[in-house]
C-alpha cells in the first residue's frame, strides 16, 4: 500500500539554525499539507500546497516557514531560524483530491520530531 | 470557543466493554467529518469517515448530528489493541481547498 514517507525521523538543532524537513507524498496525489503537533497538544494545520503554490496557510506559518516542491517527488518544509517553541512533531500529508469526493482522504506520514535546543 | 472539542479522558475500560466518545464542532458550515486514531508518538490514521446517516465499520459506529454540531464514535467489544487516542476531525473548505481541524483527542486505555 502506498504511503507518505518523511525524513529524518528525528532532527535536533540549535536555536537560530535552519532546518529542512522532507516528505515524499503518495505518488499520484496532488495536494500536500504540513501539520504540527507540539507534545501533549492537538494536531494543528500549517499549510496546504497545490500546483506549486501555497493554497492556504495558518497563522502559525509565518515568514520563518516556507514550503517547496523541488522536484516531482519531494515536498519540503523549511524553518529559517528555529525557535525553542518550534519543537514539535511535524507531519506531512497528501491527498488525491481536495474536496467533494470520498477519495480526498488525507494520508499522513510518520512525522519528523524536531527538537530545538 | 474551541473549533473541535472532545472529552480528553482517559477512558479506562476492560476488554469487551462498549465505550462512546463525543465531539462538538463550532463551524456550522463544515461538511466532512472523520475519526482518526493516533498511537503514542505516531501519525494520525484514518479510522472512519462520518456520514449524516450514521455508519458502521465492524465494531465501530459513527454518528453525526448536524443540528447539534455533534459527532460520536461507539466502540463495541473493546480489544486491547484499541488502546489509543481518538481524534475527532472536521474538514473545512475554503476557496476550493481544504484543511483538517483536529480535536485534542480522547485517550482510551483497554485493560485485560
Task: Determine contact, residues A110/B45, Cβ cutoff 8 Å.
Answer: no
A100 Cα to chain B: minimum distance (Å): 9
Query: For residue A104, what is its C-alpha cell?
Result: 480526498
Rounded (10°) CA dihedral A54, A57, A60, A65: 0
Q: Which of A78-87, B28-37, B57-66 has the lowest mean pLDDT?
A: B28-37
Query: For residue A55, what is its C-alpha cell?
Result: 493554497
- CA A101, distance to chain mean position in Å, is 23
Nearest chain B residue (CA) to A90? B43
Please list every residue in chain B whose beta carbon sits closer than 8 Å to the beta carbon of residue A33: 99-100
What is the pLDDT confidence band of residue B112, given thresholds at 50, 70 and 90?
A: very high
Query: Digits of tens for pLDDT over chain A (117 positions)?
Result: 779 999 999 999 999 999 999 999 998 898 999 999 999 999 999 999 998 899 999 999 999 999 999 887 899 999 999 999 999 999 999 998 655 554 578 899 999 999 999
- Binary contact (B102, A42; C-beta < 8 A): yes
Residue B73 has pLDDT above 70, yes or no: yes
Gap between the Cα atoms of B69 and B76, Å rounded: 23
Gap between the Cα atoms of A43 and A91, Å rounded: 9
Q: Which residues are CB-neighbours of A91 under 8 A, at least 6 positions away?
A: A6, A34, A35, A36, A37, A43, A108, A109, A111, B43, B44
Which residues on chain B place their C-beta less than 8 Å from a C-beta of chain A?
38, 41-46, 49, 87, 91, 93-105
- Half-sphere exposure in the Cβ direction for B65 (13 Å, CA): 10
Nearest chain B residue (CA) to A110? B43
Q: Which of B100, B101, B106 to mutate to test the interface with A (most CBs of A within 10 A)?
A: B100
Gap between the Cα atoms of A85 and A38, Å rounded: 9
Alpha helices by DSSP H, A1-116 = none
Burial A3-37, CB ≥16 within 10 A → b, else e: ebebeeeebebeeeeebebbbbbbeebebbbbbbb
Q: Which of A15-29, A44-58, B16-30, B83-97 has the lowest mean pLDDT?
A: B83-97
Task: Determine contact, residues B78/A79, Cβ cutoff 8 Å.
Answer: no
Residue B56 has pLDDT above 60, yes or no: yes
Amino acid at each position: 500500500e502506498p504511503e507518505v514517507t518523511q525524513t529524518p525521523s528525528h532532527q535536533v538543532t540549535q536555536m537560530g539554525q535552519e532546518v529542512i524537513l522532507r516528505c515524499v507524498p503518495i505518488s499520484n496525489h496532488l495536494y500536500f499539507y504540513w501539520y504540527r503537533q507540539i507534545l501533549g497538544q492537538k494536531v494543528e494545520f500549517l499549510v496546504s500546497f497545490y500546483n506549486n503554490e501555497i493554497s492556504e496557510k495558518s497563522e502559525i506559518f509565518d515568514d520563518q516557514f516556507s514550503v517547496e516542491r523541488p522536484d516531482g517527488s519531494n515536498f519540503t518544509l523549511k524553518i529559517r531560524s528555529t525557535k525553542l517553541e518550534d519543537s514539535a512533531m511535524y507531519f506531512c500529508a497528501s491527498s488525491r483530491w481536495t474536496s467533494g469526493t470520498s477519495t480526498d482522504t488525507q494520508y499522513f506520514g510518520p512525522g519528523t520530531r524536531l527538537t530545538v535546543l | 470557543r474551541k473549533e473541535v472539542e472532545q472529552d480528553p479522558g482517559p477512558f479506562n475500560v476492560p476488554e469487551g466493554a462498549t465505550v462512546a466518545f463525543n465531539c462538538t464542532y463550532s463551524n456550522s458550515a463544515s461538511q466532512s467529518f472523520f475519526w482518526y486514531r493516533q498511537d503514542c508518538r505516531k501519525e494520525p490514521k484514518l479510522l472512519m469517515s462520518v456520514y449524516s446517516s450514521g455508519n458502521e465499520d465492524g465494531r465501530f459506529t459513527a454518528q453525526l448530528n448536524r443540528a447539534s454540531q455533534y459527532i460520536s464514535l461507539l466502540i463495541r467489544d473493546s480489544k486491547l489493541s484499541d488502546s489509543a487516542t481518538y481524534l475527532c476531525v472536521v474538514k473545512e473548505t475554503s476557496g476550493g481547498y481544504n484543511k483538517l481541524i483536529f480535536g485534542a483527542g480522547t485517550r482510551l486505555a483497554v485493560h485485560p
